[in-house]
């Protein structure tokens, strides 16, 4: 589920402007850790290209209403006819889907140090999962898919095909959409200090997406609103 592009050096900064970092976003490598196949998982869908020219690509989407799912915008590029809205600055897209028979997750929050479980598809349709912690939010500048979008960092591993899959908190609420990963061993603070993380998986926080999500869910066909958990009600800003 890495961002499929050549390996590039990118500038990052902590959301509150405390420090900036140098990071390498990987280009189409397979994984940044190990995963387990699971039969116990939230509702997901395997997304494959609609044209022969893009055969071999695949990703994941997460149902959020009976007629809408979320995925990564770079997954939306090969399922173009399904896309109903793209976030203006984040690598996230809203797509049309028939989710009437799927259990829909509540949309929730995650706080620094909280456990995170990630889910996404393998190419054969298996659902993969892994666990980690949520650490911080970063701003990635100079990279079109995520520039100006707060990128949430977890050490839960991901792999190809999990793009567009979900990050879930301990209450099994959807807290983010998986979009890529960076190499912590090649990441430096401006001071030269490294981040002491096993891995840096990137997801876009649902809480940051909330205003855009609610407007577009209502705009496209008067669709049923996503279900926000009680703890998320009235909170429209990013993570603390």
Residues 6+ apart with CB under 8 A from 182: 10, 23, 24, 25, 26, 200, 202
Residues 6+ apart with CB under 8 A from 195: 21, 184, 187, 189
Query: What six digits make up the tokens of 128?
Result: 């993969």
Tell whether 115 is covered by a domain. yes
Residue with the bigger pLDDT between 195 and 232: it is: 195
CA distances from 132 to 3, 109, 144, 201 (A): 20, 15, 27, 10
What CATH number did the domain enclosing 137 receive? 2.40.10.120
Residue with the bigger pLDDT between 103 and 54: it is: 103
Residue with the bigger pLDDT between 212 and 238: it is: 212
What does the alpha-carbon distance between residue 126 and residue 143 come to, in Å, rounded to a whole number? Answer: 31
Q: Tally helices (H) and strands (E) across the chain.
A: 2, 15
The pLDDT assigned to 138 comes to 80
| Confidence grade of residue 209 (pLDDT, cut at 50, 70, 90) | very high
Phi, psi of 166 (to 5 degrees): -115, 145
What does the alpha-carbon distance between residue 75 and residue 72 come to, in Å, rounded to a whole number? Answer: 5
The pLDDT assigned to 19 comes to 36
Tell whether 212 is covered by a domain. yes
Tell whether 16 is covered by a domain. no
Residue 238: is it exposed, middle or buried by C-beta count within 10 angstroms (0-12/13-18/19+)? middle
Tell whether 9 is covered by a domain. no
The pLDDT assigned to 177 comes to 97
Tell whether 126 is covered by a domain. yes
Tell whether 173 is covered by a domain. yes
Q: What is the pLDDT of residues 187-197, one digit of tens each?
A: 655 566 677 88
pTM: 0.82
How much is the average pLDDT of 146-163?
Answer: 88
Judged against a pLDDT cut of 70, whether residue 85 lies above it is answered with yes
What percent of the residues of the chain are helix, what percent strand, and what percent coil, each to the nearest 5? 10, 40, 50
| Confidence grade of residue 32 (pLDDT, cut at 50, 70, 90) | confident
Strand runs (DSSP E) across 44-126, as ranges?
45-47, 59-65, 68-71, 83-86, 93-96, 115-121
Range of the domain at 100: 29-182+196-231
Residues 6+ apart with CB under 8 A from 214: 225, 226
Domain count, the chain: 1
Tell whether 240 is covered by a domain. no
């Amino acid at each position: 589920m890495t961002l499929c592009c050549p390996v590039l050096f990118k500038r990052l900064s902590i959301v509150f402007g405390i420090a900036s970092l140098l990071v390498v976003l990987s280009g189409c490598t397979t994984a940044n850790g190990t995963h387990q196949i699971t039969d116990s998982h939230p509702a997901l869908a395997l997304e494959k290209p609609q044209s022969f020219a893009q055969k071999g690509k695949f990703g994941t989407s997460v149902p959020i209403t009976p007629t809408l799912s979320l995925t990564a915008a770079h997954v939306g590029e090969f399922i173009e006819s399904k896309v109903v809205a793209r976030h203006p600055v984040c690598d996230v897209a809203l797509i049309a889907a028939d989710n009437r028979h799927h259990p829909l997750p509540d949309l929730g929050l995650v706080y620094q140090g909280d456990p995170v479980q990630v889910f996404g598809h393998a190419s054969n349709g298996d659902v993969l999962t892994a666990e980690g912690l949520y650490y911080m939010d970063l701003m990635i500048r100079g990279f079109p898919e995520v520039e100006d979008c707060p990128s949430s960092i977890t050490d839960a591993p991901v792999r190809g095909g999990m793009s567009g899959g979900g990050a879930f908190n301990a209450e099994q609420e959807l807290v983010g959409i998986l979009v890529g990963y960076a190499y912590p061993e090649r990441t430096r603070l401006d001071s030269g200090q490294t981040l002491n993380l096993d891995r840096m998986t990137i997801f876009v926080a649902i809480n940051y997406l909330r205003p855009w999500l609610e407007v577009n869910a209502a705009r496209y066909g008067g669709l049923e609103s996503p279900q926000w958990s009680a703890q998320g009600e009235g909170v429209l800003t990013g993570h603390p």
